[in-house]
Amino acid sequence: MSETRTTRRGFLKTAGLGIAAIAAGPMAAWAAEKGKKLPNFIFIMADDLGYGDLGCYGQKLIQTPELDDMCAKGLKLTRFHAGFPVCLPSRCTLMTGLHTGHCRTNKNGGGGRHPMLKTEDTTVATVLKTAGYTTAMVGKWSLGDHFIGCVKKHQNTDGSGAIYKHGWDYYFGEPNQTYCHKYYPNELYRYDRTGLVDKKTDGNRLDVVPLPGNSKSHKHYTHDLLTAKALEFIDAARDKPFFLYLPYTIPHADYDVPEIEPYAKAADWSKREKAVASMITRMDRDIGRIIKRLAKHGIDKNTLVIFTSDNGPNKFPRFNSSGGLEGGKGKFTLGGLRVPGIAYWPAAISPGRTSDHLSAFWDIMPTFAELAGVKPPAPIDGISMVPTLLGKGDQKKHNYLYFGAGKSRLIIRGENEKRGEAEILKEAVTPVVVPKFPVT
């Protein structure tokens, strides 16, 4: 995609998004109230989990008691969408607040090589750093290429998608989205800018975390290691506002898991079905551990936890993983794009609520920015969902949600959008937009 540095006015002219689509709303209504602390943010994202894979979204066979409880005590979003039907572009929309008609890439890559963010692209982490947040990512980054971006052992050079260039204080996992799908690797990687969780890393380089012989011994399951480090980060960062981005790889293939949970006796299930169900239940249990750790530290009430998935599911007819929606992963259909959206925040979200507000990944950046008391980059496609979360105030709405690459696309119209597809595409598909940040 070609690139343009566009002004707010230029973006409005070419993208036709009106002020309502990019404004953050009443700035920092939550944070501005006297005596209220800035909330912590935890954004947990599964990989290839379908709209119908959780009990609270209608699943009958796979057990997800922790997420079901989190949903019952929080807000269930019924029209929340990933950014794209496959992972890399979806994650790009999440991080930048731009849909794939405007963001850095609408391609997934492969073979270990993938499109990268550019240095000038502003991420959610960069925005929150300006508000004084400690930022951590544990898991699948995807937005920096084949070990370009400061891994010592491989290429000791900086790529534009390097983790340290995009606002992160701490990282643990496998940054490359091809290799992270192996659950028993022989090494992972860590970055700790200040030595908050572990030993401070050297400069702007990732340290290799060796797991010798793990591909054969199966001693260390990556998902378990990610959860352990997420908990360690919470322990270390709990006294100040923090943002933890936890992009798990579960339940993406390889369908590999240490135990078959409660599904071993399901005689008519295939090995693949038992494995994917076990992966989801294992992840659910670990999310419960995270919620309990927050409570242990007395910070659960002031922590906004959002759970979702990066795109729709692979085919698992037995489980009805798409929840009755057409299609799944890789398809520009509701089944490929609509995902669970659970928001849990005891101090601010009343339990048992449901919202059909039309929303997508690019709304996360302005939502977190408003709650943190900072202006998001401008212009972006996202709209703050703070009124929906709090259940009060005037919620601005999208005219439409755009998902596309080339001739493959899906446009979901808002209730007041009457224009034809050709007219919408003129504003939805432009050269890459590089929003301005900070905004004065």
Kindly state the DSSP code that residue 142 receives in the 8-state scheme. -
Say if residue 386's pLDDT is above 70.
Answer: yes
Structure tokens at 163: 């983790």
CA distances for 22 relative to 19, 164, 360, 383, angstroms: 6, 27, 14, 6
Mean pLDDT of all residues in 282-304: 98
* Strands across the sheet containing 75-77: 207-210, 187-192, 170-173, 134-138, 242-247, 40-46, 303-309, 341-344, 75-77, 353-355
Give the pLDDT band of residue 29 (cuts 50, 70, 90). Answer: low
CA distances for 102 relative to 117, 124, 403, 405, angstroms: 13, 16, 10, 11
- Name residue, tokens 């999208």: 398
Kindly state the DSSP code that residue 110 receives in the 8-state scheme. B
Mean pLDDT of all residues in 131-137: 98
Q: In this predicted structure, which of 113-117, 248-252, 318-322, 380-384 has the lowest mean pLDDT?
A: 113-117
What pLDDT does residue 159 have?
A: 78
Say if residue 15's pLDDT is above 50.
Answer: no
Q: Is the dihedral of CA 176, 179, 183, 185 positive or negative?
A: negative
Say if residue 6's pLDDT is above 50.
Answer: no
Give the pLDDT band of residue 20 (cuts 50, 70, 90). Answer: very low
Say if residue 35's pLDDT is above 50.
Answer: yes
What pLDDT does residue 207 have?
A: 86
Mean pLDDT of all residues in 394-402: 98
74: closest CA among 293, 347, 368, 384?
A: 347
Say if residue 33's pLDDT is above 80.
Answer: no
Give the pLDDT band of residue 157 (cuts 50, 70, 90). Answer: low
Mean pLDDT of all residues in 3-7: 43
Say if residue 155's pLDDT is above 80.
Answer: no
Q: What's the pTM value of the predicted model, to 2 decimals?
A: 0.93
Mean pLDDT of all residues in 3-9: 42
Exposure of 308 in the CB half-sphere (CA atoms within 13 A): 29
Mean pLDDT of all residues in 2-28: 41
The winner for highest mean pLDDT among 147-156, 197-206, 230-239 is 230-239
What pLDDT does residue 145 have?
A: 56
What pLDDT does residue 440 have?
A: 79
Say if residue 9's pLDDT is above 50.
Answer: no
What pLDDT does residue 427 have?
A: 97
What pLDDT does residue 111 have?
A: 64
Residue scoring higher pLDDT (146 or 67): 67
Dihedral in degrees, nearest 10, Cα atoms 409, 413, 418, 420: 0
Q: What percent of the chain has pLDDT over 90?
A: 80
Mean pLDDT of all residues in 362-387: 98
DSSP strand pairing (242-247 vs 353-355): unpaired
Longest dimension (CA), the chain: 62
Q: How many helices (H) and strands (E) does the chain have?
A: 13, 16
Residues facing 421 on adjacent strands? none
- What is the per-residue pLDDT across 90-110, written as a single tens digit (0 to 9) for each? 999 999 999 999 999 999 976
DSSP 283-309: HHHHHHHHHHHHHHTT-STTEEEEEEE
Domains and CATH numbers, the chain: 3-433 (3.40.720.10)
Mean pLDDT of all residues in 62-90: 98
Mean pLDDT of all residues in 169-198: 92
Give the pLDDT band of residue 400 (cuts 50, 70, 90). Answer: very high
